[in-house]
Chains A and B, each alone.
Chain A
C-alpha cells in the first residue's frame, strides 16, 4: 500500500474535521453598533455661552456727541405738563391709559443689588429703592394698592436698555446712567438719583492711589459707564468685564481681581454682604465718576416720559423720595447722604 497516500488522506480527513468542527461551532460575531448608545450623550454644555457685550462702550466721542455733552443734554428729559393725572383721568389714547387698560406694566429691575433692587431669598420678592419707585409709578397708573400682577418686575442684567428698545419691558429702573450716547438708544426720565463710582478692594489691599492700579486687574460690568470711564482714565489697568455686577464681588472674594470699579450704591451693598471689603473713594475726579440715574423708556413714548417725570416731581415734593432714600440708607449704612436730584428738562 502506498504509505504516503494513506498518510495524506488521513491527515486531510483529520484536518477537514478540525476545520469543520470549528465551523460548526458558532463563531458568532458580536454586534458592532454597541457604542451607538454613546451618541445620545450631549456634546455641548447646557448653559448658553455668556457674551460680554464689551463692544457697547464707545471710547471715542463724535463731534455731535461732544456738543451734546457740552450742553448737558445727556441728563435733560421732557418737561411734564403739570402734576400726574389720576388713574381714572389718564388722557385717552395715551401710553399710560393703554397700560392701565392692559392691566399690567412691566418694569426691568436688577435682582442682585442689595438696597437698590434685590430678591428676598425668603419671600422670593424683589425689593429695594428702585422697586419702590416702580411701585409708586404703578400706583399712579392703576390706583392705590393695585393687584400684584399689575406690576411685573422683570430681572435684567447687561441687557437693561436693550429690553426697553425691544419692547420686552415698558421701562427699566436699574442704575442706568444717562448720557448723550445712550439717548440714541432709549429716552430717559429726569434724574432720580445721583451716584458716584468708586473702587472696591479687599481690606488688605495696597491700592491707595491711581498709580497703584497700573497693571492690576479691575472688574467692571460689561458695557457699563464704569467700563468706559476706566478705559479712558486708567488705561494701564487690566479690565475684567463680567455679565452681572455681583460676579465682581465673587471675583474679588476669589482673588481673581484686585479691585471692582462700580457705583457706590452697589459697593456699599457689597460691604454689607462682606465686611472684609472696603471702598476706596476719591481716586478719580468727582466729575469723571458721577453717575446720573434715569429711568429708561422707549423712544416714541414721550407721554410716558413726561408722566414719570411728573410722578418724580411729586415724590420729591411730598417727601416720599426722602423717605425711600432713608430706607435705602438703612439697608446700606455707609452710603453717603444725597439730596434729591434737581430735574433738568430740554425745552
Chain B
C-alpha cells in the first residue's frame, strides 16, 4: 500500500520478489531517496561512459597499431632484408674476375646496400619501437658498412689476383649469415608479432563485455529509480529520467554498431591482407636466401655442403607450407591466379638450379655452371622477386584499406559518447531535481 508523498512516513521501497512476496530494500524517505538516486545514477552513467570511452580508446589504439605502426614495420623489415644485398654481392664478387664484371651487377649491389641503409634509418625513426628492436636495428646499421667494406676488399684483392680475396669474401658471407641475417629476421619477426597483437587487441571481446555490463547496470538503475519515483510521486512519466534512459540506450546502440563495424573491417584487413602479406614476405626472404646459397655453393666449389642443404630446406618451405598458406589466404580468384604464376616462376628458378647442379656436380663443368648462375639463375630469381613484390604491395593495400576503415569507424565515437553522457547526466539530474524541489 503506497502512501502519497510519503515524506514523513518513510515507507519502504518495495518490489515483488520471487513468489510474489514483498521484499524491502531499505526504508527511505522520498527526498533522501531522490538524492541517493541522483548520486547513484550519475555514478552509473559515468561508469558506463568510462567503459565505453575506454573500450573505444583501446580498440582505436589497436587499429592505429595495425595501420600506422606494425604494418610499415613489417614491410620495412622485409624490404631491408639484407639478403638482397648479399645475393648480389656474392653473385658479383665471385665471378668478377672470370671475365669483365657486368657493371649493372655491381651497381645493383651498391644500390641494395644503399637502400638497406636508408630503410634502417626509416625503421629506427619509428618512435614506438621496442628496446629490443631498437638494439637490433642499431646492430644492423653498424654491420652493414662492415659487410660492404669486406666485399670491397674481396673485390679489390681478386682484381689483383690475390688469393686473400677469397678469405675476405668468406668473412663477408660469414658476417652476413651468422649475424646480419638472424638480426634482420628478428626484426621482421617482432614486427609480425606486433601486427598480430594489434589484431588481437582490436578484436578482443573483453572491452565490449565491460561496456555491456556497465550499460546494463546503468539501465537497471534507471529503471529502478523511475519505478521508485513513479511510486512515490504521482507522476508516472519523468521526462528527465526518460530522456537519460533513451540517451543511454542510444549511446549503447551507437557504440555497439561502431565496434562491430570496426571489428569487421579489422578482420577483413587481416584475412584479405595481413595473412597473405606475411606468407609472401617470408617467401621473398627465403627466395633471396636460396639464391645466396646457390652462389656461395659455387664460390666454395661444392666443398661446403651446408649451402646445398639449406637451399633444399628453404625451397621445400617455399613450395610447400608457404605456397599453401598463400593460396588459402588469397581473397579472390585474381590473386589466386597470380599466386599460381608465382609458383610457376619459382619452379622455373628451381629447374635452373637443377641445371647448375647437373653441370657442376655431375659433369664437372664449373665454368658453364657459373655462367648459368650469373645469367639464367639471377634472372629467374629476379622474376620471382618482382612477382612477389607486386603481390605483396597489393596485399598491403588491402591490409591498409581495412585498417583505415577500422580507424575511421571509431573516430567520432569518443566525442559522441562524451556529449551523450553529459546530456544523459544532465537529464537525469534535472529530472530528479524537479521532483526534489517539491519537497522543500
Using CB atoms and an 8 Å cutoff, list the residues of chain A in contact with chain B: 1, 3-8, 11, 14-15, 17-19, 21-22, 25-32, 34-42, 45-48, 111-114, 118-122, 124, 149, 155, 244, 246-247, 249-250, 253, 269-270, 273-274
Contact = CB atoms under 8 A, between A and B. Distances in A.
Contact of B178 (A27, A47, A155): A47
Contacts of B192: 35, 37-38
Given A22-B212, A273-B162, 16 more contacts: A4-B227, A4-B231, A5-B227, A11-B249, A15-B215, A19-B256, A34-B196, A48-B305, A111-B166, A121-B97, A122-B97, A124-B366, A247-B167, A249-B164, A249-B167, A274-B162
Interface stretch (B104-112, B282-290, B377-385, B424-432): B282-290
Contacts of B322: 37, 40
Contacts of B237: 3
16 contacts: A3-B231, A4-B227, A22-B259, A29-B203, A30-B199, A34-B270, A34-B278, A46-B306, A47-B306, A114-B163, A119-B163, A121-B97, A122-B161, A246-B163, A273-B157, A274-B164
Interface string B293-335: 1001000010111110010011001100110010000000000
B194 to A, nearest CB: 11
Contacts of B71: none
A250 B203 contact: no
B263 interface: yes
B252 interface: yes
B163, B170, B212 interface centre (most CB from chain A within 10 Å): B163
Contacts of A37: 192, 278-279, 281-282, 322, 325
B357 interface: no
B141 interface: no
B186 to A, nearest CB: 10
Contacts of A1: 236
Nearest to A246: B167
Contacts of A32: 200
B253 interface: yes
A120 B282 contact: no
B48 interface: no
B239 interface: no
Contact of B98 (A8, A19, A48, A122): A122
Nearest to B307: A46
B266 interface: yes
A3 to B, nearest CB: 3
B38 interface: no
A112 B215 contact: no
A155 B303 contact: yes
Contacts of A48: 304-306
Contacts of A36: 321, 325
- For this complex, into which size category does the number of interface residues on chain B fall? 35 or more
- Top 8 A-B pairs, shortest CB-CB distance: A4-B227, A3-B230, A3-B236, A25-B260, A246-B167, A121-B97, A273-B162, A40-B317
Contact of A34 (B153, B227, B261, B275): B275
A250 B168 contact: yes
A11, A113, A121 interface centre (most CB from chain B within 10 Å): A121
Contacts of A111: 163, 166
Given A41-B185, A46-B293, A121-B158, A246 B266 contact: no
A164 B162 CA distance: 28
Contacts of A121: 97-98, 158, 161, 165
Nearest to B285: A41
A155 B302 CA distance: 11
Nearest to A115: B163
B367 interface: yes
A28 B230 contact: no
B196 to A, nearest CB: 5
Interface of B: 15, 97-98, 153, 157-158, 160-168, 170-171, 173-174, 177-178, 181-182, 185, 188-189, 192-193, 196, 199-200, 203, 205, 208, 212, 215-216, 219-220, 222-223, 226-228, 230-231, 236-237, 245, 249, 252-253, 256-257, 259-261, 263-264, 266-267, 270-271, 274-275, 278-279, 281-282, 285-286, 289, 293, 296, 301, 303-307, 310, 313-314, 317-318, 321-322, 325, 364, 366-367
Contacts of A273: 157, 160, 162-164
Contacts of B174: 47
Given A30-B270, A36-B325, A112 B261 contact: no
Contacts of A244: 167
Contacts of B249: 11, 14-15, 18
Contact of B310 (A6, A46, A112): A46
Contact of B163 (A19, A112, A122, A149): A112
Contacts of A40: 282, 286, 317-318, 321-322
B382 to A, nearest CB: 21
A25 B192 CA distance: 28
A29 B270 CA distance: 10
Contacts of A269: 163
Nearest to B246: A14
A120 B98 CA distance: 10
A118 B160 CA distance: 13
A31 to B, nearest CB: 7
B180 to A, nearest CB: 10
A29 B267 contact: yes
Nearest to A22: B256
Contacts of B193: 35
Contact of B177 (A19, A46, A114): A46
Contacts of B231: 3-4
A66 to B, nearest CB: 37
Contact of B263 (A15, A27, A39): A27
B164 A47 contact: no
A196 B271 CA distance: 70
Given A41-B189, A41-B282, A46-B293, A112 B167 contact: yes
